[in-house]
Amino acid sequence: MRVIIIGAGRTGGQLVASLCTENHDVTVVDSDPRVLTDLSSQYDILTLAGSGCDPQILEEAGVEKCQLLVACTQEDETNILACACAKRAGVERTVCRISNVVYTQKKEWFSLEQLGVDVVISQQEESAREIYNTVMMPGSSEVVPMLDGKARIVGMKISKVSPLFGAKLDSFPYPDLLDLIRFVAIMRGGELVIPHGDTVFIEDDEVYILGTPSMTLDFIDWACPRQQELLKVVIAGGGSVGLPLAEQLEDAPVQVVVIEKDEKRASYCSSMLDRSLVLQGDALEEATLKEAGISEGTSFVAVLGNDESNILGCILAKQNGASFVVSQINKAEYSPIVTHLDMIDRVVNPNVTITNAILHMARWKNIEAYSFLQQVPGQLIEFVINAESKHAGVSVRDLKLPRRAVIAAVKRDSGVIIATGSTELLVEDRVVVFAEPEVVKKVQQMFA
């Protein structure tokens, strides 16, 4: 597939990395030649220096023969214009990153779709949603929506008190549950294990399950019992992630406190929020945390400007008695280190989040969507079974799938079916396959 990426920032970079491992033809356009030099020295890509909405540059990038264009510069207007040009030049699918929500409104005479944008992705909204899921389901380590949101993959850590601890899939205490929930993968000591009948869950296993949103929520509540009921969420940083997060949390039955250092921004947050308490102060000062009232049952989210402050803020909050702390980390290098810090319960990387969101929507041929899990190597791929497919009418057992890949679920009509060996694939089904990196290509060819 030929892909054009406009904007070579952190998101663009992450996207290049993901796409290159799959051997796509990637062209990157950015106005800063130095960034391009860095990127092209790491990856096998074509780079062009210039504006992403310059028709001349777009033509040079081969916009007329390209299947996917992702516009992810810092400027919304550039992104929209680039998508509009590309759509008219014949690009199959355009993905546009938007940070200003005013552009996402729809009027009879205005919508981004009309302008030629197929998929709108807001980095801040995606990050906020991910943190929201993390805070509301503290037992989960990761939540990835699948099949247009009808299902999701949820990761969770098994502790000694979990009812899953020591259970074996063959002799699972609640066999009915296995029709509603699919165990997709287990991360054990940094190694990926695909669960089979004889797999036994042990302590510190990171288990990934797939199911409908309500089912996964119930399952998590059962498998990872909350030690403390969530009463309050303290958000350090009322920036572009903190504010939408607070807005989402206002609908949940929890108290929300936003700590913002900048006076103007704090005032803006307070004017946008309804029942949240906005404090103007430094989240890295104990006095401010005291005023925010951190205690048992408090979740703390650090979405300040930089990673170091986030980490420090989380540690400080934990020492002050927060039950659960979440840190946003921008630098990919920090993620593994912070994951090993006992103080910090959860790390969220906005670049991974948005890359996930973009790739998820970047479909071509009969591949409907892609997803990545942060801690797990491998991919979740959604395929469509079309009429001429040789897999139509074949049951999962007879599919001869590589051993390192599993069919997790099938979306038929508007319902989701958890795949078992006897599930038969029908035309127009959407199938979720989890594949380890080595077999991704094989799986793709199988369904192509």
Compute the least distance from the CB of residue 238 to another protein, in Å: 9
Calpha distance 97→121 (Å, rounded): 5
Compute the least distance from the CB of residue 277 to another protein, in Å: 6
Residues 73-92 that bind another protein (CB under 8 A): none
In the complex with another protein, which residue's Cβ is closer, 30 or 260? 260
Calpha distance 103→84 (Å, rounded): 14
Instruction: Please count the CA atoms within 13 angstroms of the CA of 435 that sit on its side-chain side.
Output: 20
Calpha distance 141→35 (Å, rounded): 33
The mark string for 289-328 relative to another protein (x by CB under 8 A, - otherwise) is: --x-------------------------------------
At 293, list the tokens.
Answer: 């009232």
Compute the least distance from the CB of residue 100 to another protein, in Å: 19
Q: Which residue has the tokens 């030049």?
A: 89
In the complex with another protein, which residue's Cβ is closer, 260 or 436? 260
The mark string for 34-63 relative to another protein (x by CB under 8 A, - otherwise) is: ------------------------------
Calpha distance 340→328 (Å, rounded): 15
- Binding of residue 278 to another protein (CB under 8 A): yes
Among the listed residues 141, 216, 255, 288, the single contact to another protein using CB under 8 A? 288
Helix locations, 157-241, DSSP H: 213-223
Report the greatest alpha carbon distance in the chain. 66
Please say whether the beta carbons of 399 and 407 come within 8 A.
Answer: yes
Among the listed residues 32, 274, 286, 398, the single contact to another protein using CB under 8 A? 274
Q: Are strands 232-236 and 255-260 parallel, antiparallel or unpaired?
A: parallel
Helix locations, 137-195, DSSP H: none
Residues 230-269 that bind another protein (CB under 8 A): 260, 263, 266-267, 269
Q: How many chain residues touch another protein (CB under 8 A)?
A: 15
Compute the least distance from the CB of residue 101 to another protein, in Å: 15
End-to-end CA distance of the chain: 13
Please say whether the beta carbons of 370 and 376 come within 8 A.
Answer: no
Among the listed residues 163, 281, 321, 377, the single contact to another protein using CB under 8 A? 281
In the complex with another protein, which residue's Cβ is closer, 19 or 257? 257
- Binding of residue 286 to another protein (CB under 8 A): no
Please say whether the beta carbons of 27 and 3 come within 8 A.
Answer: yes
Among the listed residues 41, 214, 271, 414, the single contact to another protein using CB under 8 A? 271
Phi, psi of 429 (to 5 degrees): -70, 150
At 129, list the tokens.
Answer: 């949603």
The number of helices, as runs of H, and strands, as runs of E, in the chain is: 14, 22
Q: For residue 63, which of 9, 2, 8 has the smallest C-alpha distance?
A: 2
Please say whether the beta carbons of 310 and 350 come within 8 A.
Answer: no
Span from 7-15, 35-43, 53-61, 273-281 in contact with another protein (CB under 8 A): 273-281
Compute the least distance from the CB of residue 270 to another protein, in Å: 4
In the complex with another protein, which residue's Cβ is closer, 141 or 288? 288
Compute the least distance from the CB of residue 98 to another protein, in Å: 23
Calpha distance 82→404 (Å, rounded): 40
Among the listed residues 31, 159, 270, 366, the single contact to another protein using CB under 8 A? 270
Span from 19-27, 272-280, 357-365, 438-446 in contact with another protein (CB under 8 A): 272-280
Compute the least distance from the CB of residue 273 to another protein, in Å: 9
In the complex with another protein, which residue's Cβ is closer, 265 or 411? 265
At 433, list the tokens.
Answer: 């396959």
In the complex with another protein, which residue's Cβ is closer, 91 or 256? 256
Interacting residue ranges for another protein, rule: CB under 8 A: 260, 263, 266-267, 269-271, 274, 277-281, 288, 291
